[in-house]
Amino acid sequence: MAPDPRKKTTIYDLSQLSGASPSTVSAVLNGSWRKRRIKESTAEEIQRLAEEHQYSTNRQASGLRRSRSGLIGLLLPIYDFHHFSSIAQSFELRARRRGLCPIVVSTHRDPAEERASAEHLISYSIDALFVCGAADPDGVHEVCEAAGVRHINLDLSGTRAPSVVSDNYNGGRVLTEALIDAFPADAPLTVDELILIGGREDEATRARVRAFHDVRSTRFGRSDADAVDLTGYSARNAKLAFERHYQARGRLPRAVFINSAINFEGFLRFLTDHRGDDYSGHVIGCFDYVPFASFLSFPVIMIRQDAESMVATAFDILDRPSEAPVVHLIPPQLVPPRTALTGPLDEIHSPGDDLRDRSL
């Protein structure tokens, strides 16, 4: 029997509708069903019924009963970056599936802001905190440890809490090899025509640069330090770097490894000042997925960091007892030219959702 539409749907209503016990329904709604070894199909059916019948938890009362708030936090460096926005979207999607309320805060790669934001979120009794791309993840650890809050590092690792990061070395190796192999046998790439631009002195960039030099040494017999131009994560600085290399040669090198989407933006700014140039013999690599870059007139090979798997792994860690500060490496994906990929938002758009059907 369907619940009375004039009354608020309860756990017991969902129990009747699903045929599951009230305790099973409760475990699904509070996100602890995996620990209870409840079937995923059962959890999905209960979640569907909860949404259909507009079930909502009294979070304050629930928090008092369970000493939990139902809130979970994510610290991001910035929003306007496809990788970080994908992490935020995956985080929100998975948090809501677990009956949690996600809170996302940007900290601008500022260690003081990271600590202050963590303290502020903890004051709202968050149940856990994901610390993404932090300049000082161990500093955030100190704040969380003092408050007894579970926390996991994403994108950049720390030394005092579990971390989930991209396998930057292997991603850098695969991208460098793909750039070299993109050139035909009758016009092979030479060592001086392959450079890396972008990034800063962080663990991700160091791993990618090491892979870049290793591949150059293996394939060409040597690799020079001046083949790498670290500009920071700055579109302006990257544009200036491209201009320097252009002026030194009278053209761009035939192959460029660009070390982030932000630095790729600098490359696009450079192109606006050189519209008449012919780039048909060039191949660009980007260690990030920039959807529209795939359809430029010249080949762009990209590495997409697997945000969905990173976030899923982090939530799996939360389901287990606290563990040592292990680093979990997530393989990134090579994206060939002229390729468009799906992302976390595709899961929440309905099949018939089309901008043409929306009023402006």
Residue of higher predicted confidence among 210 and 41: 210
pLDDT band at residue 59 using 50, 70 and 90 as cut-offs: very low
The answer to whether residue 291 scores a pLDDT higher than 70 is yes
Query: What's the pLDDT tens digit per position in 203-242?
Result: 999 999 999 999 999 999 999 999 999 999 999 999 999 9
The answer to whether residue 186 scores a pLDDT higher than 90 is yes
pLDDT at residue 37 in the model:
80
With residue 284 as reference, give the H or E element that holds it: strand 283-286
Cα separation values, 21 from 12, 61, 66, Å: 8, 21, 19
Q: In the chain, where are the structural domains located?
A: 11-57, 68-161, 168-305
Domains 68-161 and 168-305 share a fold: yes
pLDDT at residue 96 in the model:
93
DSSP bridge pairs for 67? none
User: CB-based contacts of 138: which residues, under 8 Å, 6+ apart?
Assistant: 158, 159, 160
Residue of higher predicted confidence among 308 and 346: 308
Chain-centre distance of CA 168, in angstroms? 13
pLDDT at residue 329 in the model:
97
User: CB-based contacts of 40: which residues, under 8 Å, 6+ apart?
Assistant: none
Helix, strand or coil, per DSSP, at residue 163: strand
- Rounded to the nearest integer, the mean pLDDT of the chain is 87
Distance CA 352, CA 75 (A): 33
The answer to whether residue 31 scores a pLDDT higher than 60 is yes
Is residue 299 within 8 A of residue 283, CB to CB? The reply is yes
Q: Worst-scoring range by mean pLDDT, 76-85, 195-204, 247-256, 284-293? A: 76-85
> What's the average model confidence in pLDDT over 116-142?
92
pLDDT at residue 60 in the model:
42
Is residue 313 within 8 A of residue 330, CB to CB? The reply is yes
Q: Cα angle at 174 between 173 and 177, to 5 degrees?
A: 85
The closest alpha carbon to 114, from 70, 156, 86, 82, belongs to 156
User: CB-based contacts of 316: which residues, under 8 Å, 6+ apart?
Assistant: none
Share of the chain above pLDDT 70, in %: 89
> What's the average model confidence in pLDDT over 253-257?
97
The answer to whether residue 58 scores a pLDDT higher than 50 is no
Cα separation values, 95 from 72, 221, 273, 347, 360, Å: 7, 49, 44, 14, 31
Distance CA 236, CA 259 (A): 14
The answer to whether residue 356 scores a pLDDT higher than 50 is no
Q: Worst-scoring range by mean pLDDT, 35-44, 138-147, 175-184, 303-312? A: 35-44
Domain 11-57 in this protein, CATH class:
mainly alpha
Cα separation values, 324 from 158, 159, 221, 258, 321, Å: 11, 10, 40, 34, 10
Residue of higher predicted confidence among 123 and 179: 179
CATH number of 68-161: 3.40.50.2300
What kind of fold does domain 168-305 have according to CATH? Rossmann fold (3.40.50)
pLDDT band at residue 11 using 50, 70 and 90 as cut-offs: confident
pLDDT at residue 61 in the model:
41
Distance CA 270, CA 279 (A): 13
Q: What is the DSSP letter of 58?
A: -
Burial environment of residue 255 by CB neighbours within 10 A (0 to 12, 13 to 18, 19 or more)? buried
Residue of higher predicted confidence among 25 and 325: 325
| Model confidence, pTM | 0.76
pLDDT at residue 272 in the model:
94
23-26 long-range Cβ contacts below 8 angstroms, 24+ apart: none
How many angstroms separate the most distant Cα atoms in the chain?
Answer: 77
pLDDT at residue 57 in the model:
56
CA atoms within 13 A on the CB side of 247: 8
CA atoms within 13 A on the CB side of 279: 20
Q: Locate the DSSP E strands across 71-212.
A: 71-76, 101-106, 128-132, 150-154, 163-166, 194-197
pLDDT band at residue 39 using 50, 70 and 90 as cut-offs: confident
pLDDT at residue 110 in the model:
93
> What's the average model confidence in pLDDT over 258-282?
93
Query: What's the pLDDT tens digit per position in 61-85?
Result: 444 334 578 999 999 998 877 889 9
> What's the average model confidence in pLDDT over 195-203?
94
Cα separation values, 283 from 3, 71, 225, 255, 294, Å: 61, 45, 21, 5, 12
Q: Worst-scoring range by mean pLDDT, 6-10, 70-74, 143-147, 287-291? A: 6-10
- Between helix 11-18 and helix 40-52 the angle, nearest 10°, is 120
